[in-house]
Amino acid sequence: MRTPLMAANWKMHKGPGEAVGFFNRFVEAIGDVEGREVLVCPPFVDLYVMGRKLRDLGDDAPFRLGAQNMHPAEQGAYTGEIAPPMLRAVNCDYVILGHSERRHIFGEDDEFINEKVKAARAFDLIPVLCVGETEDQRDAERAEEVVSTQLRQGLSGVDVTAPDQLVIAYEPVWAIGTGRTATPADAQAMHAHVRSILADLWDEELADGIRIQYGGSVKPHNVDELMAQPDIDGALVGGASLEVDSFTRIVNFKR
C-alpha cells in the first residue's frame, strides 16, 4: 500500500514568521493525521525554523519538510544557490526538482534536472521529480511522449533500490495555477503511463511502490475525485496550500 503524500508547495510566499504561524494553526486544525503523510515545502529562508519545529514534533509525527529546488554540487562558487547537504542540515527529507516553473521560467533542462536527482539521492534526500506537458503538447497528442522523455532523462542512471527513495509528481503545465484541472480519468491514464515507465526503468514491484502525485489546481472541491483514482498517490498543491482551511481539507481528502 502506498501512503498518500499530500504536499504544499508555497513557491515564493510566506517568510519565516508567517510560515511558523501557518504551521501552528495547521497542526491544530488537522488534529490526528492517519494514513497519509504531509509535506511542506516553504521558501529556503523558512527551512531552518520549520526544521526545528518539525524536530520538536518528533519523527512519529506525519509532517515532513522539503525544499523547492537545489543545486547538484556539494558546495562551491555558485552564488545564490543551495547545496544538498545544507538541506539535510535543516531537517529536509524531500526536495522538489524539475518543477515546471524551474523548467519554463529558469530554463532548466532534463540533463541538469538529472544531475540534481542524482545529487539528491547521493545526499539521502527524496527527490519529488516533476513532469508534465504543455497545452500545445497535449493538443498535439504528444503528452505521453513528453512525459516519457522527462522521466527517462531525469531518472537516467539514478540509483533507486526502494520505493520510498523517489516520488514523481505529474503536473500538466496548463493546469498549474490556472484553476483548470486534468479530469480524474485523464490524470489516472497519465499516472498509469508514468508507472509503466518506472516499471520499465526498474521493475514492476518497485514501480508499484513509488508514489505518483498529481499537481495542477488541486482544490478542496476536486481532491476527493482525484485521490479516488487507483494510481494517484497524493497531491502537490500550490495556491490552495497557502490557506490553512483549504490545505487542511485537501489533506483530509476522502476516498
Q: Which stretch binds ligand PEP (CB under 6 A): 169-177, 182-190, 196-204, 226-234?
A: 169-177
Q: Which of 79, 99, 75 is nearest to 89 (CA)?
A: 75
60 contacts 34 by C-beta, under 8 angstroms: no
Q: Which stretch binds ligand PEP (CB under 6 A): 56-64, 84-92, 135-143, 234-242?
A: 234-242
Residue of 46, 102, 239, 246 that binds ligand PEP (CB under 6 A): 239
Residue of 39, 165, 238, 247 that binds ligand PEP (CB under 6 A): 238
**Which residues are part of the catalytic machinery?**
99, 171
Q: Which is nearer to ligand PEP, 59 or 242 (CB)?
A: 242
Least distance CB 143 / ligand PEP (angstroms):
16
> For residue 8, what are the β-bridge partners?
40, 237
Residue of 137, 217, 222, 246 that binds ligand PEP (CB under 6 A): 217
Number of residues that bind ligand PEP (CB under 6 A): 14
235 contacts 215 by C-beta, under 8 angstroms: yes
Q: Which stretch binds ligand PEP (CB under 6 A): 44-52, 145-153, 200-208, 238-246?
A: 238-246
Q: Which is nearer to ligand PEP, 19 or 240 (CB)?
A: 240
Q: Which stretch binds ligand PEP (CB under 6 A): 191-199, 223-231, 232-240, 245-253?
A: 232-240
One-letter amino acid for residue 239 of the chain:
G
Interaction between residue 234 and ligand PEP (CB under 6 A): no
Least distance CB 41 / ligand PEP (angstroms):
9
Interaction between residue 236 and ligand PEP (CB under 6 A): yes
Residues 173-202 contacting ligand PEP, CB under 6 A: 176-177
Residues 10-29 contacting ligand PEP, CB under 6 A: 11
State how far the Cα of 74 lies from the Cα of 78, in Å rounded to an integer. Answer: 11
Interaction between residue 132 and ligand PEP (CB under 6 A): no
Residues that bind ligand PEP (CB under 6 A): 9, 11, 171, 176-177, 215-218, 236-240
